[in-house]
Amino acid sequence: MNQEKSASGDDQAHPPPDEPDFAEIGRKLFAEECTFIWAAAKIGGLPPPGAPEIAFAGRSNVGKSSLLNALTNRKRLARASDTPGRTRELNFFALGGDADRAKLRLVDMPGYGYAAASKEQIASWTGLMRDFLRGRAQLLRVFVLVDGRHGLKPIDLEMFDLLDRAAMSYQIVLTKRDEVKKADQEERVAATLAAIAKRPAAFPEAIFTSSQTGEGVGELRAAIARLLAEREP
């Protein structure tokens, strides 16, 4: 039987016969059409409730747009840029249908920690994210992207504090795995998990990804498929 490597480097066997194959379910889900449907700069401009949502947050230049493109098998779904701070709104994408019939909505949140932004801009983005996290009933989880080359930074811990206060489930996704030595990857995952061990809203697993090689992307899709299955009655 074939086996896959987990983010930490441990062998991860295929699921037992009585458990759905979330890797395959996730692959099929993200093979479906995915389109941009909405942008909101203020909390009053959010789209009406609809499909379940998952959101992606992270420091500016963490590789969020590249990972969204890799996740959805698109080259230009989310605009990747060398200029940090380009995402200044909550951008919504419908997966598997239009705005009204989508199976899932992906939400690209503004990048945080952009030093060149004004205090007014930072306050506006922070307020938008805070209000969104507290009042979005269909939001299932926030995937917080962390640069795998450097690990957690103080600004990431501030984001975790915001999520904990909002009682919003979140999971860490390490990025740029291809730029981290294999010998250091397991240690990076372990350090990340140790840092969130006592945080009330943190999901106790981390996924190490690379948008360039595709490593970990299938694991992320599977995690999202499992999350959707758990939501179903």
| Res 14: pLDDT | 63
Reading the chain (233 residues) residue by residue, the pLDDT tens digits are 333 344 444 434 466 677 899 999 999 999 999 999 999 988 889 998 889 999 999 998 899 989 999 999 988 776 644 444 455 789 999 999 888 889 999 999 988 876 566 677 777 778 888 889 987 899 999 999 999 999 999 999 999 999 999 999 999 999 999 999 999 999 999 999 999 999 999 999 999 999 999 999 999 999 999 999 998 76
Closest among 70, 62, 69 to 149, alpha carbons compared: 62
The owner of tokens 């030595």 is: 181
Distance between CA atoms of residues 44 and 179, nearest Å: 40
3-state secondary structure (DSSP) of residue 140? strand
**17: which 2 tokens?**
């016969």
- Residue spans of alpha helices (H) in 41-168: 64-71, 119-135, 154-165
3-state secondary structure (DSSP) of residue 202? strand
Any residues with CB less than 8 A from the CB of 41 and at least 6 apart, and which? 88, 89, 90, 128
> CB–CB of 80/65 below 8 Å?
yes
| Res 91: pLDDT | 92
| Res 116: pLDDT | 61
Distance between CA atoms of residues 172 and 214, nearest Å: 17
Distance between CA atoms of residues 19 and 143, nearest Å: 24
| Res 87: pLDDT | 57
| Res 84: pLDDT | 45
* The model scores a pTM over 0.85: yes
Domains and CATH numbers, the chain: 29-231 (3.40.50.300)
First to last CA, the chain: 32
| Res 228: pLDDT | 95
| Res 4: pLDDT | 39
